[in-house]
Structure 1
Amino acid sequence: MSESSGPEGAETPVAHIAHNARVWNYWLGGKDYYEVDQRVADRITRTYPSIREVARADRAFLGRAVRYLAGEANIRQFLDIGTGLPTVENTHQVAQSVAPSSRIVYVDNDPTVLTHARALLTTSPEGATDYIDADAHQPGAILDAATDTLDLAEPVAVMLLGILNFIADTQEAIRIVETLMEAVPAGSYLVLTHPTLELGGSANEEAMRFWNENATPPITARTRAEVARFFEGLELLEPGIVSCAHWRPGHTADDEKTVAQFGAVARKP
């Protein structure tokens, strides 16, 4: 895809800096990216070849987590913050395939995602899907807007997949999670993925450094102990905080390659 055309249907100016939503879309096999995104993505892939596996494992984790929540946990409301560009098995598709009455609110503030929001707004006749143009740094505004679609008196699955790593200050990231989880009732869930250097080695560190020098927004990796702080006061589901490829994979976890992305789900008691 050329920079002159940009992502299909987009009306945004030509991009000169790689952006996470578009690069992630490229790694997932999508088509909504610019040449600059592909160049940066390919350079990172040469440095850290398993990055595509990270992207795909993260997406597969989303599917497993949402299927569990909409099925066994009987959750019917999902607040997906940091949605990214539409690709395979989006949250509403997975949730409504299990429970057609599921209600989903997507949140992102990337103009490319906004252009494609219409692709996220399909829904089953029994359910609802909405999109909020908002910044993860402003959880209060997100919650206010979400009430147009979600009933915050009923349990909600708050989904933060690969988004808190763009909040550089850990205390601010914790505050965001606390604000979101305080607003939802007991029986709600927190679903989270987060990149780490503990599982990826020096190549991952070099790849992140290159990203921060050549793309936006910058990434902050965190340790397992730091990620655990997001779940304080919540009940972690088994198997806890693990490589997202190993979270309830449906077969022996040893069959899945470890990727440098933590994944976990927890319930608010």
Structure 2
Amino acid sequence: MSDTANDLRVERKPKLSETVVGAIRKQLQAGEIPPGHKLPTEGQLTETFGVSRTVIREALAKLAADGLVEPRQGAGVFVTEHISTMFGALAADMGAKDSVALNVLEVRLAIEIESAGLAAIRRNAAQEAAIQEAFFEFERLLLDSQPTGPADLAFHRAIASATNNPFYVEMLDVLGRRAIPCDVTSPWSTELAQSDSYQRGLQREHLVILNAITAGDAEAAREAMRTHLGASQQRYRERLQARQAYYASSVKAAAGE
């Protein structure tokens, strides 16, 4: 090997639907199509972008999955009226860069520390049960060696729901799978993050949060969530450093060939 990884890098040409998604997202960010307003019809979008209806439908499905638009049977596709619409557009633009994973964890710290404290004070019996169910679903998936990401997100979402403030839930919904780097479907997942020992550590941290909320101890719940998300930040930084060290050693070894 004579050169570094630049020689191996192949740029992927964006799919047509991705181009359409990007263009419409920019219109939404600029407020050209306000929340609650209807998008142009499929036929109009097909003509505007010079692509097939299949491409347009794929693009609209992606925008709907990101929470930016919603189809209404027989009426068309409308821009969502949630206050987090622009935040959703920003989150969708973030992609899968490693720095973004750390940024997402930082945002979660700002949101979820207080949500844990509020959940400890405000939760009702049904909401407490939902947090417990998500915790034990994570445990079941872990024992079955299945991806735990959905249960992990459900655990945090159930805590947000127990605040009885819908905006906490909405913010987590916007982040979606970006919020859980350990999920195998996450852009930032690694073999380490998917390992049994790594996820067992997450579950121990979840248990401390659950116990504090169940006990109605708001300060303990906040501290447990701060510890959990802070540890997640540190674990991710360590993975980045390990990856950097591995790359450096690989380049050095290749140069010595």
- What TM-score results when the alignment is normalised by the length of structure 1? 0.21
Question: Which protein is bigger by CA-based radius of gyration?
Answer: 2
- What TM-score results when the alignment is normalised by the length of structure 2? 0.22
**Quick check: which one's strand share is greater?**
1
